[in-house]
A and B are shown apart, each in its own frame.
Chain A
């Protein structure tokens, strides 16, 4: 079964840091680009960051540029999002999603992990 499972969410104070992980299984992880998408409470989907299969290209939304860093470990089928200088408006469910180089769409999604930034 193709699966993505996020972890690492929680409650953090403004200015703090958190590292999210996404464990992939059921497919050749090293052949796919990977992505993070977030959804604030009551809001729509917001693309956060993407990384190509070999990590040679990384793309990051302006809203988190300079604070969030995407990375991956192909040997362990894992995707990461290092989040620093967290703000209240970073509060959201964070989804990891598999990308397709042929379609540019996100075809497999995890269930998400909640990040709450509050004092």
Chain B
């Protein structure tokens, strides 16, 4: 099975900061990587798919990059609404849909 490892587990930042979350796959996933935001264990919200494509309606301060086994989510100029937990998710035909363990972005 493909394992997804996110870092850091917790990130403390201030409004206006730029933050980056990393997600590493145990083997290449060819760009099938999505990022989700979850607040207070409510329904997750899709932010980015195919590693770097912004979902409709998601603010442009969110961006994703990466390929192969290493991917990043960057939030430029953190807003109060962005304090939440973020998850990466991979898709591979042989090991479908694994989530990372999550990164909590909290107020510094």
Chain A residues positioned under 8 Å from B38 (CB to CB): 45
The number of chain A residues touching the other chain, given as a range, is 20 to 34
* CB of A75 within 8 Å of the partner chain: no
CB distance from B50 to the nearest CB of A (A): 6
Give complex CA distance A62, B101 in Å.
17
Interface residues of B (CB under 8 A from A): 1, 32, 34, 36, 38, 41-46, 49-50, 53, 55, 85, 87, 89, 91, 96-102
Q: Of A11-19, A24-32, A98-106, which binds chain B? A: A98-106
Give complex CA distance A59, B91 in Å.
12
Give complex CA distance A13, B100 in Å.
30
**Known: A109-B43, A111-B43. Is A104-B91 also a contact (CB below 8 A)?**
yes
Closest to B91 in A: A104
Interface residues of A (CB under 8 A from B): 35, 37, 39, 44-47, 50, 59, 62, 93, 95, 97, 100, 103-107, 109-112
Give complex CA distance A45, B72 in Å.
19
Give complex CA distance A86, B96 in Å.
23
Contact B96 A45 (CB under 8 A): no
CB distance from B92 to the nearest CB of A (A): 9
Chain A residues positioned under 8 Å from B45 (CB to CB): 109
Interface centre among B1, B43, B98, B99 (most CB of A within 10 A): B43
